[in-house]
Amino acid sequence: MNANWWGLYGENIKKNLGRLSESEELSGIVGSETKHYTASYSLTEEFTSVYRMHPLIPDLIATYSCTSGKLISEKSFTEVQGKFTRPSMQDVSIADLFYSFGIVHPGAITLHNYPDTLRLFERMRPGSLAIDLAAVDILRDRERGVPRYNQFRKMLHKKPVRKFSEITSNAEWAKEISEVYGGDIELVDTMVGLLAEDVPKGFGFSDTAFRVFILMASRRLKSDRFFTNDYTEEVYTRTGLNWVDDNNMSSVIIRHYPQLTPAIQNVSNPFAPWDSINTFKPIPA
């Protein structure tokens, strides 16, 4: 996203000298000309498929105090979702929730890590039966015309896999996938393939999934006039543009919840694990 926003010339060049090139690669998408390509921006079924990241959700939700760092509660996902959401928040503040999400690791986006509470998901409607959301995720892809994994790769200009060991280096997983799909590699569902892929160093999910994300993120910016043709002082004012350029997710969170400053001020990326209140050390003046 930094490359999308600032371009390869980087933040300092763009802030001080403006756009030096019409090239999006060099000067970023923001501030360039609006372009819809062949269709107006929309969320595709392929993007929806890639965004099925339910393994991120833990079965047990732990909540901690953002002032003392102490554990407030541990509840199952079922106990905090649907009609239980508001009652489950009676003893915690929004700042406590932000802090808890910042210090507690999510689940890894990989095979064999789908939360049990979603595999037996209890919908909060009278007469509703529990469903296996993992199976529903795969069914939705099939019904909505999302290509199977190998064809999905081809459409992203990636080399198709010829054998199951090329999907994953985990020999046991490759064996399991082969057995489930009767040895036919062309039948492997996209979600299964994406979760099985080896994750590149520094990535949170597969390379194939990343390609869809970067494509959609770029299209999202390029199609929005407020990031392109109308990203100007006449629309935002100079003060507004400076505010956008000089702030980030950390500063926005601290602005609304200053009590979270000790947990987040030393973290370069707010999506990375935050500091524990109990181990916080002030930055020397």
- Residue 93's alpha-carbon distances to 50, 193, 253, in angstroms, are 32, 39, 14
- Residue 276's alpha-carbon distances to 66, 75, 144, 270, 273, in angstroms, are 9, 21, 43, 13, 9
Is residue 51 annotated as a catalytic residue, yes or no?
yes
Q: Determine the length of the chain.
A: 285
Candidate list 9, 37, 41, 51, residue with the active-site label: 51
Cα distance between residue 259 and residue 92, in whole Å: 14
Cα distance between residue 260 and residue 258, in whole Å: 5
Q: Which residues pair with 61 in a beta bridge?
A: 75
Cα distance between residue 40 and residue 18, in whole Å: 28
SS (H, E, C) 58-102: CCEEEEECCCCCCEEEEEEHHHHCHHHHHHHCCCCCHHHHHHHHH
Token reading at 260: 């979270």
Cβ-contact 130, 122 below 8 angstroms: yes
Cα distance between residue 148 and residue 131, in whole Å: 23
- Residue 12's alpha-carbon distances to 15, 37, 191, 219, 247, in angstroms, are 5, 30, 40, 24, 14
What are the residue numbers of the active site? 51
